[in-house]
Structure 1
């Protein structure tokens, strides 16, 4: 096989087929569109294409779309709500990504290693996981947040999910116990394939649908927890966050005044929209990691390509 043929095979298997499978599901399409919108907002904030909240002064309590220069309205002090939402997006995305990668990465590493190796390694890793699970999660996060006073969103995401991985790791370990008894894993072990390669090529791919769903759950947990902690005043207000906006809205009487209701609704809609995008993308990506669906879609793609080639030959003749 030549280098070009090998590259084409890798492209078909690793890029084109997953994209075809993903795009065939409406949930993946809508999930990508929603998350793309939030990424666009983050890019606008990073590039400074929208006014800063601290520099936006306008009439107080403008309603939704009352003034198109301030499409989401303004707060009690005349701050642009759209600016608050847009400039909170980069830190939110960094936070949920860091927390989800931390939780799922640790869980996959510990769960697969414990389930595959068994014996003393399994007992030690699961005992450590049980110890982490026994620690109350929310009080631990509050203590760490108050002690460290984190302002870096990446560090904050890791702190919020500091113990989230333990339950997921135990669930993955139970699945690995079943997968390691399959014939192809036994064949790899008999041929002397190293443990890291067996885990990477034979075990983890079969766990990816479950890992993907839990990655989304971990990201949503970080978002909800951070918003709640900012709303309660546990985390420092030096970083702009949708929870800070909710706190100020509640303190400004938005819960009881219709003229200030948009102040409360804007961050809530932003939170629900991002959560919906994550859920749709997670459900759609489950098909990408399903080997049966990928094989069927790849076969349909090849048959379509061969039909096009036959049609082209017929036209030439």
Structure 2
């Protein structure tokens, strides 16, 4: 009986130790994921001045979107204040008012969620499709490359602006996600060809050849070996696609192609221009406020994209890991036993 009890207790201890080891392994795995995917990119991004400024600018737009989504700021409506009130004279209306007494800051806040959704949809659609087309075409080659390249050439041959105008008039999109996709309907083609040229050189590298020799699947090679090397280029072009979406939408709203539903920076520009914002000093701020909002969002996206190169650059990541390990090693060697000074 004693022997059975001892053996059962030992089995219990072994089971608990195995469970503890498995739990530690899972905890270490989560810690490694957090370090590589969250902590290191955040440190690298924040160490670059351009990225810090870009994050701050984009945070302002996200804050304005939150103010509108959660109803923390008043809705724009006529006769809220005196007409054509200049900016920074009445802090209840910090950016001034329009000809009909509408709060300009409320107009910008009310437009921000729509603009951000549209920009995100356009950038994600164009970049994702371009990455899929470019990586598969460049890596596979042969008949697959020929077929995909022919489709890309067809879409590149279609004039972008006339196509977008025809689609906008036909569908009159009021949903920001649909509008973002329409505005970048053939933007992906040129980007896909550029990514293909990048992949053509990467697929001949020794590490890609080693993965093929070991029998790795095409999907795994593209995800593990190809995509990390083109991510800086992809992120920069994502920002270019997002910026193109902003300017295209504002331009089409300004000339009246897109439907005047709700508020939009292009609609505000159109109203300001039609009511003398370009010719009278009293209404000049009405024209400048949406222009500053457009330029500010584009600038924030560009600054963040410039910092993406540091985040995805393996040399910077390796250097950061080496510095972290050296700092930890110095702390271990210099700290006295027991933590006493």
TM-score by length of 1: 0.97
State which of 326, 334, 337 in structure 2 corresponds to 1:303.
326
What is the CA distance between 1:31 and its match in structure 2?
A: 0.8
Which residue of structure 1 aligns with residue 177 of structure 2?
154
* 1:316 counterpart = 2:340: yes
Which residue of structure 2 aligns with residue 252 of structure 1?
275
* Residue deviations 1:83-124 (CA, integer Å, cap 9, x gap): 111100000000000000000000000000000000000000
What is the CA distance between 1:55 and its match in structure 2?
A: 5.9
In the aligned structure 1, how far is the partner of 2:172 from the partner of 2:88?
37
Which residue of structure 2 aligns with residue 265 of structure 1?
288
In the aligned structure 2, how far is the partner of 1:22 from the partner of 1:72?
32
In the aligned structure 2, how far is the partner of 1:90 from the partner of 1:214?
22
State which of 14, 25, 30 in structure 1 corresponds to 2:53.
30
- Computed over aligned residues only, the root mean square deviation of the Cα atoms, in angstroms, reads 1.3
Unaligned runs of 5+ in 2: 1-23
**Which shifted more, 184-193 or 37-46?**
184-193
In the aligned structure 1, how far is the partner of 2:89 from the partner of 2:38?
46
* 1:228 counterpart = 2:263: no
* Cα pair 1:249 1:263 within 8 Å, conserved: yes
* Cα pair 1:18 1:288 within 8 Å, conserved: yes
* 1:291 counterpart = 2:307: no
In the aligned structure 2, how far is the partner of 1:273 from the partner of 1:115?
36
Does the residue aligned with 1:2 lie in a helix, a strand or coil?
helix
Which residue of structure 2 aligns with residue 61 of structure 1?
84
Q: Which has the higher contact order (CA 8 A, sep 6+)?
A: 1
What is the CA distance between 1:141 and its match in structure 2?
A: 0.2
Does the residue aligned with 1:54 lie in a helix, a strand or coil?
coil
In the aligned structure 1, how far is the partner of 2:39 from the partner of 2:139?
31
In the aligned structure 1, how far is the partner of 2:83 from the partner of 2:208?
66
Q: How many residues align?
A: 317
What is the CA distance between 1:171 and its match in structure 2?
A: 0.6
What is the CA distance between 1:56 and its match in structure 2?
A: 5.6
In the aligned structure 2, how far is the partner of 1:311 from the partner of 1:236?
68
Does the residue aligned with 2:336 lie in a helix, a strand or coil?
helix
In the aligned structure 1, how far is the partner of 2:58 from the partner of 2:329?
35
* Cα pair 2:164 2:182 within 8 Å, conserved: yes
Which residue of structure 1 aligns with residue 71 of structure 2?
48
In the aligned structure 2, how far is the partner of 1:228 from the partner of 1:109?
29
Unaligned runs of 5+ in 1: none
Which residue of structure 2 aligns with residue 211 of structure 1?
234
Q: Which has the larger radius of gyration?
A: 2
